[in-house]
Structure 1
Amino acid sequence: MDLPDDLSTGERIRRLRESRGMSRPVLAGMCGRGPDWLKKIESGERELRSHSLLMALAAALQVSDLSVITGGVPEVAQSVPLGRLSHPGMPGIWAAVMNRTMSPAPGVPVDVAALQARVDQTWRLWHTSGHQRTEVGALLPDLIRDAERATRTHDEAARRAAHVALSDVYRLTGQATAYVAPAELAWVVADRALTAAQQADSPSAIAAAAWNMGNILRETSYPEEALRVVAEAAELIRPHLDGAPDDWRGVYGALQLHAAVTYAREGRDGEAWAAWDRGDQVAKSLPAAYVHPSTVFGRANVDFHAVSVATDLQRSQRALSLADDIDPDTMPSAERRARLWVEVARGHLQRGDRTAALHVMQLAAKISIETLAFTPAARTAAADLWRHAPRAMRAEAARLGEAVGVAAG
């Protein structure tokens, strides 16, 4: 469908919806919103800033390129996930998840301790590799099958430990396939992580799986449900924190930071900082060098999240000031360090400083190019720079856009 260049985003959405014979309630419902919300978007009464909602609308309208909705330069590719997406590891992961056998597991029982060690090692790879999706994605199919088999080949005590490992595997699968998995896979993976943790009857595993479920809910435009899940998980684990291992407090703190970002993306300033404060207090109760093995909760991650909260609240000056006081090298996760620089770039873009934004995006790309290539906020920032970089910086912005995959070479 050819749309005039001068149409607003809301007008484009309305024309696309009407061309497909969709009513407002139907399209809004597919995005987890009400018809009044969509009416305000289409009329221009409300600005649509949420990238995840833009992606949800594009997918519901079966638009494969986001620029059809947002307008702008047509050469900027902003692909929309309409099915099984473009990472080479996805077919193997899809097969392992969706073709789960129901028959008893044959062969020698899986060594649960060795399985958990493999899972822990793969989590470390996720956080230390600059190509984490590719490297971890190659290992996940076997891990998923072995973890599933382990839950069916042991007695009660070992089976509970196997379910903890299985929950960890599915949480890692959720991380590694975020933004590239079709929606049905994302939901199956999140649900299996939570179910396995509940079968293990482990409060810390349940809380970690709820953190993962909250991520899926938030990124698929269900913020209230995400907040409910993480709040319930926090209440579940809270009575066990006195005398519990550090990792139990670590996942409890991660739930608070999740809530902080979710509130911030909804523009709920006071609640966002209150949740961040709760996470900050948890970090202060842990050893200074503590880092949770999967969520990387700790002092550095709390500070990183302060930048994210300020950026999501459109408080760019505060975000950049907070970032100035952070030493990124205190964070052991390359993926998280790269995302910090993306947040800083977003802060610079909010102020219109594209030269500074390009510089920090280049820093992020050196740390983990896959984080940029498969994270919507990073892709949006790279596309903005490719379109609008100062003349002297256009060649560098084009190279970044090509590396991230938002601009053709």
Structure 2
Amino acid sequence: MDFPDDLSTGQRIRLIRESRGMTREVLAGMCGRGPDWLKKIENGDRHLRSHALILRVAAALQLTDMSVLTGGARDGVTQPVHIGRLHHPAMPPIWDAVMGHRLAAPPAHPMDVPALQTRVDRTWHLWHSTGQNRTAVLRLLPALIRDAEHAVRTSSGETRRAALVAQSDTYRLMGQATAYIAPPELAWVAADRAMAAAQSADEPAAIAAAAWNLGNILRETSYADEAFQVVTDAASLIHPHLETGPDDWRGIYGALQLHAAVTLARDGRAGDAWRHWEAGDQVAKSLPATYVHPSTVFGRANVDFHEVSVAVDLRTARRALSVADALDPDAMPSVERRARLWVEVARGHLQRGDRTAALHVMQIAHRIGAETVAYTPSALSTVTELWRSAPRALRPDAARLAEAIGLQDAG
């Protein structure tokens, strides 16, 4: 369809929906939301800012280019929409492992649970230690999922509790590695199984970690209130154990505080966001200076990185960039988290109108973590904006970066 340039995203959605003969109820349901939500989007009473939700609406409308909704096509920039259920080459085996295991015959021999947990821990480490983290981890996940299910089905007593923790850790890892590429139904299955396994194990730290994972999915699908409730409930559950529990219990508690801070910042609630960030900061101060939580990478560096994220989400770019200037990125052991820091710095530069600096740091982010940039909505949006508006002399560089992460030139 050929739209006037001044049409909003909501107006475009309504026109395309009506041209398809779809009711609001149908389209909203396909996006996991209610018709009132879609009505507000179409009428301009609510802005559709979530990159993941825009992609979901585009897919539901059977569009192959997201810029039809955002208006980017007139600038010569498109972003492909994957309409099929499984659009990543590593996803079909994971789908089979997750959805087919309950139909398999019961295994005949028990699983070595400590060895399984070691494999899961090593795979979490792999997630944080390579720029091609999704490719590396997704290759290992199908076998881990099957072995975790095997371990739970063939163990009892304390061994079964340990197997349930390993199973929960595996599904949390799956949630992390498949974020933004798994179909929604698969993401929710993984989150639910991670939480169910942790609750069956009756292990507070595992429950808190599963809540952190569930909160990510809720927040990225625009259920911010529910995400905040999940992580604060989990923090309340683990709080009584902080004095006597191991460092990792405090680590996951701190990670929940940072999660809440970002969730609130995205909702513009500055006072509450900084209150939760400060709570995470206090936890980091109570831990050894070199402490890093094995899966969330909570620690001193991550608290500092989150100060940048919260400031950017609150659109206080001056504070974000001032904090970033004082940071040592190499203090963060996670490659994935270092790449995301530079994405946040680029967003801060864009907020101040400095596209040259934004492009420079996005190139750094891509060199550090190519798949983090290619599969993170905030990074994709930043590169798209740079491609549209980079200074003339830098447009070839912006185009090369866009091409490297899968964006395509319409012209």
TM-score bracket for the superposition, by shorter chain length: over 0.9
How many matched pairs? 409
Superposed CA deviations along residues 3-47 of structure 1, whole A, max 9, x for unmatched, are 334422222122122223344455456556665654443344544
TM-superposed CA distance for 1:313, in Å, is 1.2
TM-score (ref. length: structure 1)? 0.95
Q: Please tell me the residue identity of whatever aligns with 1:63.
A: L
Conserved 8 A contact 1:130-1:369: yes
Q: RMSD of the alignment, in Å?
A: 1.9
| Aligned counterparts of 2:252 and 2:233: Cα–Cα separation in 1 | 13
TM-superposed CA distance for 1:59, in Å, is 3.5
| Aligned counterparts of 1:120 and 1:281: Cα–Cα separation in 2 | 26
Equivalent residue number for residue 370 of structure 2: 369
Mean Cα deviation higher: 181-190 or 394-403: 394-403
Identity, % of aligned positions: 69
TM-superposed CA distance for 1:73, in Å, is 2.6
TM-superposed CA distance for 1:389, in Å, is 1.1
| Aligned counterparts of 1:216 and 1:368: Cα–Cα separation in 2 | 21
Equivalent residue number for residue 278 of structure 2: 277
| Aligned counterparts of 1:38 and 1:188: Cα–Cα separation in 2 | 25
Listed as ranges, the matches of 1:380-391 within 5 Å are 380-391=381-392
Equivalent residue number for residue 80 of structure 1: 81
Conserved 8 A contact 1:32-1:221: no
TM-superposed CA distance for 1:387, in Å, is 1.8
Conserved 8 A contact 2:50-2:222: no
Q: 1:84 to 1:24 in 2, by over 3 A?
A: closer
Conserved 8 A contact 2:187-2:217: yes
Equivalent residue number for residue 305 of structure 1: 306
Equivalent residue number for residue 179 of structure 1: 180
Q: Please tell me the residue identity of whatever aligns with 1:378.
A: A
Q: Please tell me the residue identity of whatever aligns with 1:199.
A: S
| Aligned counterparts of 1:143 and 1:38: Cα–Cα separation in 2 | 39
Listed as ranges, the matches of 1:101-112 within 5 Å are 101-102=102-103, 105-112=106-113
| Aligned counterparts of 1:42 and 1:92: Cα–Cα separation in 2 | 38
Q: Please tell me the residue identity of whatever aligns with 2:363.
A: Q
Equivalent residue number for residue 252 of structure 1: 253
Superposed CA deviations along residues 90-147 of structure 1, whole A, max 9, x for unmatched, are 1111111111134553243111000000000000000001100001110011011011
Equivalent residue number for residue 67 of structure 2: 67
TM-superposed CA distance for 1:316, in Å, is 1.3
| Aligned counterparts of 2:37 and 2:138: Cα–Cα separation in 1 | 38
TM-superposed CA distance for 1:232, in Å, is 1.2
Equivalent residue number for residue 20 of structure 2: 20
Conserved 8 A contact 1:31-1:221: no
Q: 1:155 to 1:43 in 2, by over 3 A?
A: closer
Conserved 8 A contact 2:50-2:220: no
| Aligned counterparts of 1:217 and 1:194: Cα–Cα separation in 2 | 14
Equivalent residue number for residue 396 of structure 1: 397
Superposed CA deviations along residues 364-386 of structure 1, whole A, max 9, x for unmatched, are 01111000111111111111112
Superposed CA deviations along residues 254-291 of structure 1, whole A, max 9, x for unmatched, are 11111111111111111111111111111111111110
Conserved 8 A contact 1:84-1:90: no
Do residues 216 (structure 1) and 228 (structure 2) align?
Answer: no
Equivalent residue number for residue 189 of structure 2: 188
Equivalent residue number for residue 50 of structure 2: 50
Conserved 8 A contact 2:131-2:369: yes
Conserved 8 A contact 1:84-1:180: no
Q: 1:273 to 1:56 in 2, by over 3 A?
A: farther
| Aligned counterparts of 1:308 and 1:127: Cα–Cα separation in 2 | 19
Equivalent residue number for residue 294 of structure 2: 293
Equivalent residue number for residue 91 of structure 1: 92
Q: Please tell me the residue identity of whatever aligns with 2:271.
A: G
Q: 1:222 to 1:251 in 2, by over 3 A?
A: same
**Secondary structure of 1:16's partner?**
helix
Conserved 8 A contact 1:81-1:182: no
Q: Please tell me the residue identity of whatever aligns with 1:399.
A: R
| Aligned counterparts of 2:112 and 2:409: Cα–Cα separation in 1 | 48
Q: 1:115 to 1:34 in 2, by over 3 A?
A: closer
| Aligned counterparts of 1:156 and 1:349: Cα–Cα separation in 2 | 55
Conserved 8 A contact 2:80-2:408: no
| Aligned counterparts of 2:165 and 2:380: Cα–Cα separation in 1 | 34
Conserved 8 A contact 2:64-2:83: yes
TM-superposed CA distance for 1:338, in Å, is 0.2
**Secondary structure of 1:101's partner?**
helix
**Secondary structure of 2:10's partner?**
helix
Unaligned runs of 5+ in 2: none
**Secondary structure of 2:77's partner?**
coil
TM-score (ref. length: structure 2)? 0.94
Mean Cα deviation higher: 122-131 or 74-83: 74-83
Unaligned runs of 5+ in 1: none
